[in-house]
Amino acid sequence: MDEFFAAKAASNDQVICIGPLSRAEAPEAVEAGLGNGAGIYVYLTRSSDRGQSVDVLAKVASQEAAETLSRLLGFDASKQD
């Protein structure tokens, strides 16, 4: 199954991403009241943290919605195996 992932620099040290969360990042979604961490999310991460901590901003309804959002916002998107 292909997983959707898109990313774009938000500042010198922050990257905004649209994609699945890792098991280590999933508790951030729970804390934000956005589900159990499964699915596709919009989140911020620091480049210097190498993805170890994230700020979950929103949950995306579907892969199609994620693709549309990333295209509208000009993200670099890819599908990963």
Give residue limits of the domains in the chain: 3-74
Quick check: 80 pLDDT over 60?
A: no
Q: What is the pLDDT of residue 77?
A: 61
Query: What are the angstrom distances between the C-alpha of 41 and each of 27, 47, 62?
Result: 13, 18, 10
Whether the CB-CB separation of 63 and 4 falls below 8 Å is answered with yes
Quick check: 22 pLDDT over 70?
A: yes
Q: What is the pTM of this model?
A: 0.82
